[in-house]
Structure 1
Amino acid sequence: MLFLLLALFGCLSGITTVLFGFGGGFVVVPLLYHLLRSDPDTGGSAMQIAVATSTCVMIVSAALATLKHRRAGNLKREYLWPLAAYIAVGAVFGAALVGALASEWLRWGFIFYLAFTLLDCLLRRGFLHHDGQAPARPLGPMKSVGCGVLIGTVASSLGVGGSVMSVPLLRRRGLGMTQATAMASPLTLPVALAATATYLMTASRDLGTGFVAYVDLSAFILLALGAWLGTRLAARWIGRIDDRKHAQVYLGLLALVLLSMLWS
């Protein structure tokens, strides 16, 4: 039953990665946290394991989603580089913080991150409505540096892809939801790669067989297989969702994850 649950959540993460730019962290982290927190062997590191395993799954789901969006013609190079390089720098720094922080502190950081993003998107103009008439505005050098490092640091320390920061950022630069969420996948890759490498090199605890540093290998395999299936299922819906409804569902999914983490 547990194996089936992990595969199903992996599939869900693949679907949400393709359609909404997030999935690895916002689906995998709450699930693994709930499963591990009551285990006496892993409970003390439940959030660290959830975060590290999540970043490994994100490598798979983000790479697959990037290929789908590239084939659909939704990626714009001017919004990917050099932002991706600064995100990678921030990801290394954020991942290094994980081993030094208590699991409960990481959980509350995750909750605050979600709540702030939801309020920002709901209360500040520019996210829910996009008329498609005004031309998209490129990111300036200073914004690329500042936003890139911040996105990478927050995302890797919480085990998420950073789409909750990059999608609203690109949305407010004039991109529609399809393009903004498409850009989130390649921008997630530097977070996932840099953070995973850092976790493997800096883990402070040996969890025994079935783990590499903080990464739960069996959970990773099942989640990654599910993510592969999810990206294939979601590909047919790329670009076919109404822009405003796309933005509303995006925020609704974030609210569900927030409630899940608060309930835990």
Structure 2
Amino acid sequence: MFMGIPYAELAILAAGLLLAGAATGLLAGLFGVGGGAVIVPVLYELFTALDVPDDIRMPLCVGTSLAIIIPTSIQSFNAHRKRGAVDMSIIRVWAIPAILGVIVGSVIARYASAELFKWVFVAVASISAFRLLFGKDSWRFADEIPGKWIMRTYGVVIGVLSALMGIGGGQLSSLFMTFYGRPIHQAVATSSGLGMLISIPGALGYIYAGWPRAAEFPQVAAIQFPLALGYVSLVGLILFIPTSMLFAPLGVRVAHALPKRRLEMAFGLFLLLVAGRFLFDLLT
């Protein structure tokens, strides 16, 4: 036993985290997302097996996801930038608004119910999947990126929703950019840069939000130090990072080799699967 957790359960947790880390890195490079859409549902199942109470299970998954995607986002962004696919002008406009949005989302996380996190995940993932699976090139708000004030507003919204979903903003910013006529490959590459701006302050915000909650659940080892800092699981962080960073460059190579439509279909089906999982949990 380690802090009340049987060694057999810890071994299963470790194996699951290592495998999920590989999938996370691959998807981070492939879709320009930090991997949160994979990390959150995987951690949710693992923390369920460890009897983490529902009240803190979802925010613990989200906070851990934000911490995990920090190195993955950096690796994915650097790989895309070397290929010249990142629009740095968009990153510069979104930087401060996105960070402000993350701060707001982290404050909400301290007081929100577990159901809110799931509903946000279902809503955003479903909208994104619908656009990717059934949308047409003619489905656009405009052919050019809007002015700076509209862009900054979008940046704040992306920051808030990303903080509540545990994602690096990739799927949200990719969706936005395709609605304004940007090709999916450029949208994916540029979105990878937003992950760095969202994941770092997001992880710090969840440490702050979860710190007092650990004292309310002294019997739950998974949220106690040294296994966790607030809503960030340190064991999850340590085990995810090696395999996720190893597989991120492979995802980038696959992304640039795939035709546009195939990349959109793959991303859409993936998001739909994730949305369905959490909707089932909410309705049962």
How high is the TM-score relative to the length of structure 2?
A: 0.84
Alignment correspondent of 1:251: 268
8 Å Cα contact 2:106/2:163 also seen in 1: yes
Q: Output the CA distance in 2 between the equivalents of 1:127 and 1:52.
A: 37
Query: Mean Cα displacement is larger for which, 56-65 or 198-207?
Result: 198-207
Q: Which amino acid aligns with 2:150?
A: K
8 Å Cα contact 2:64/2:237 also seen in 1: yes
For residue 58 of structure 2, the aligned residue among 47, 61, 84 is 47
Q: Which amino acid aligns with 2:162?
A: A
Task: Say yes or no: does 1:157 pair with 2:173.
Answer: no
1:91-123, CA deviations, whole angstroms, 9 ceiling, x for partnerless residues? 110111111011122122211222233334456
* Offset, 1:142: 2.2
**What secondary structure, in the 3-state scheme, does the structure 2 residue paired with 1:37 have?**
helix
Task: Say yes or no: does 1:24 pair with 2:35.
Answer: yes
Equivalences for 1:88-127 in 2 at 5 Å?
88-122=99-133, 125-126=136-137
Alignment correspondent of 1:226: 243
8 Å Cα contact 1:114/1:254 also seen in 2: yes
Q: Output the CA distance in 2 between the equivalents of 1:37 and 1:49.
A: 11
Q: 1:44 to 1:140 in 2, by over 3 A?
A: same
Alignment correspondent of 2:150: 143
1:37-91, CA deviations, whole angstroms, 9 ceiling, x for partnerless residues? 3544544310010000000011111011011111111112122111122111111
Alignment correspondent of 1:212: 229
Q: Output the CA distance in 1 between the equivalents of 2:39 and 2:138.
A: 25
Query: Mean Cα displacement is larger for which, 54-63 or 79-88?
Result: 79-88
Query: Mean Cα displacement is larger for which, 208-217 or 105-114?
Result: 105-114
Higher share in helix: 2
8 Å Cα contact 1:111/1:258 also seen in 2: yes
Q: Output the CA distance in 2 between the equivalents of 1:222 and 1:27.
A: 15
Q: Which amino acid aligns with 2:151?
A: S
Q: 1:161 to 1:128 in 2, by over 3 A?
A: farther
Q: Output the CA distance in 2 between the equivalents of 1:241 and 1:127.
A: 22
Q: Output the CA distance in 2 between the equivalents of 1:66 and 1:29.
A: 21
8 Å Cα contact 1:78/1:138 also seen in 2: no
Q: Which amino acid aligns with 1:252?
A: L
Q: Output the CA distance in 2 between the equivalents of 1:3 and 1:98.
A: 27
For residue 200 of structure 2, the aligned residue among 187, 193, 200 is 193
Q: Output the CA distance in 2 between the equivalents of 1:253 and 1:84.
A: 27
Task: Say yes or no: does 1:174 pair with 2:181.
Answer: yes
* Offset, 1:180: 0.6
Question: Structure 1 unaligned runs (5+)?
Answer: none
Question: Structure 2 unaligned runs (5+)?
Answer: 1-11, 215-222
* Offset, 1:228: 0.7
Q: 1:127 to 1:13 in 2, by over 3 A?
A: farther
* Offset, 1:201: 2.5
8 Å Cα contact 1:79/1:139 also seen in 2: no
**What secondary structure, in the 3-state scheme, does the structure 1 residue paired with 2:257 have?**
coil
Query: Mean Cα displacement is larger for which, 2-11 or 65-74?
Result: 2-11
8 Å Cα contact 1:121/1:127 also seen in 2: no
Q: How many residues align?
A: 259
8 Å Cα contact 2:25/2:72 also seen in 1: yes
